[in-house]
């Protein structure tokens, strides 16, 4: 209160000059805080203190809000790979939001060090708005600009569960954590296997894909009791519709059988007089 009263007595130009001095001080402190973040990360100190990530450490131990913590961690990561940015931060030519923006965009573009330095120079020439900066950077790195914004309402219990889930997944960002979680729930579309469907023998890539799909076990299932053969030896790639009957060498028509079951299936076909 007393301080606010003192400010009331300051002349305009002094008030402005003092504010500028404070901001200079603020920039120097920011650079120092980021250097400390970096050292904590390099020592993995947060693990020792019982946090799964630097992000959780920054929120729970240091008391930052989630967004503030994330911005500082992003900024630190960019400084780590682009030390050229440090004097700019100290001098106040590069603010925290642009620094964290640089990191997000550079990560998305998988930028090289030279590109990061170039991107840095794009931003520190003149002060621009956050949106202008993002547009400029995305343009430089030739990145798509479209991103979906989803607002989700949840109760406190769910929110706490989500925080725990993120920690367990090792992702601080909601989008990255959600992606990991979804990928664990949804089967990925099958990789396109380059294989001539008219060739009889499955190629290396198709064979690898089939074995992976079969978890390296024979896929024969007894039609009467539903028992699956678990044999892991002498596995062969077999055509469901036999090759000589026009069955193609494509993933959907292939299965993995052990040698014995391959022979059994062959015998059954012989019994049905398909030859």
Is there binding between residue 218 and Zn ion (CB under 5 A)?
yes
Q: Alpha carbon 274 to chain centroid distance? A: 52
Which residue in the block uniquely carries the two structure tokens 């019982």? 50
Is there binding between residue 262 and Zn ion (CB under 5 A)?
no
Q: How many CB atoms lie within 10 A of CB 46?
A: 20
Nearest residue (CB) to Zn ion, 122 versus 264 = 264
- The 3-state DSSP class for residue 256 equals strand
Closest approach of Cβ 239 to Zn ion, in Å? 16
- CA–CA distance, 34 with 190 (Å, rounded to integer): 43
Q: How many CB atoms lie within 10 A of CB 193?
A: 18
Is there binding between residue 177 and Zn ion (CB under 5 A)?
no
Is there binding between residue 261 and Zn ion (CB under 5 A)?
yes
Is there binding between residue 220 and Zn ion (CB under 5 A)?
yes
Is there binding between residue 117 and Zn ion (CB under 5 A)?
no
Q: Given CA atoms 241, 260, 273, 221 in this order, what sign does their dihedral have?
A: negative
Is there binding between residue 237 and Zn ion (CB under 5 A)?
no
Is there binding between residue 75 and Zn ion (CB under 5 A)?
no
Looking at 20-28, 69-77, 202-210, 258-266, which segment touches Zn ion (CB under 5 A)? Answer: 258-266
Q: Which of 211, 229, 250, 269 binds Zn ion (CB under 5 A)?
A: 229
Closest approach of Cβ 202 to Zn ion, in Å? 17
Tell me, what DSSP letter sits at residue 221?
A: B
Looking at 41-49, 218-226, 234-242, 264-272, which segment touches Zn ion (CB under 5 A)? Answer: 218-226
DSSP string for residues in 184-205: HHSPPPPPPP---TTSSS--HH
Closest approach of Cβ 240 to Zn ion, in Å? 15
Closest approach of Cβ 70 to Zn ion, in Å? 52
Burial label for 86, CB within 10 Å (0-12, 13-18, 19+), is middle
Is there binding between residue 235 and Zn ion (CB under 5 A)?
no
């Amino acid at each position: 209160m007393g301080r606010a009263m003192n400010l009331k007595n300051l002349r305009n130009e002094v008030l402005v000059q003092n504010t500028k001095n404070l901001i200079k001080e603020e920039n120097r402190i920011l650079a120092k805080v980021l250097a400390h973040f970096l050292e904590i990360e390099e020592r993995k100190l947060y693990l020792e203190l019982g946090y799964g990530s630097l992000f959780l450490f920054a929120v729970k131990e240091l008391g930052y809000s989630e967004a503030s913590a994330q911005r500082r961690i992003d900024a630190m990561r960019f400084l780590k790979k682009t030390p050229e940015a440090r004097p700019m931060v100290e001098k106040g030519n590069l603010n925290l939001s642009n620094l964290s923006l640089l990191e997000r965009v550079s990560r998305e573009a998988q930028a090289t060090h030279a590109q990061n330095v170039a991107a840095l120079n794009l931003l520190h020439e003149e002060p621009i708005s956050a949106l202008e900066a993002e547009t400029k950077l995305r343009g430089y790195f030739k990145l798509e600009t479209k991103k979906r914004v989803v607002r989700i309402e949840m109760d406190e219990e769910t929110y706490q569960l989500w925080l725990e889930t993120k920690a367990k997944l090792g992702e601080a960002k909601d989008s990255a954590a959600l992606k990991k979680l979804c990928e664990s729930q949804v089967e990925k579309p099958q990789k396109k296997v380059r294989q001539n469907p008219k060739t009889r023998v499955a190629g290396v890539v198709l064979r690898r894909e089939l074995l992976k799909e079969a978890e390296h076990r024979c896929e024969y299932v007894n039609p009467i009791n539903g028992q699956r053969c678990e044999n892991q030896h002498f596995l062969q790639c077999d055509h469901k519709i036999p090759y000589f009957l026009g069955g193609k060498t494509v993933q959907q028509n292939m299965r993995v059988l052990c040698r014995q079951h391959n022979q059994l299936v062959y015998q059954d076909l012989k019994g049905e007089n398909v030859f």
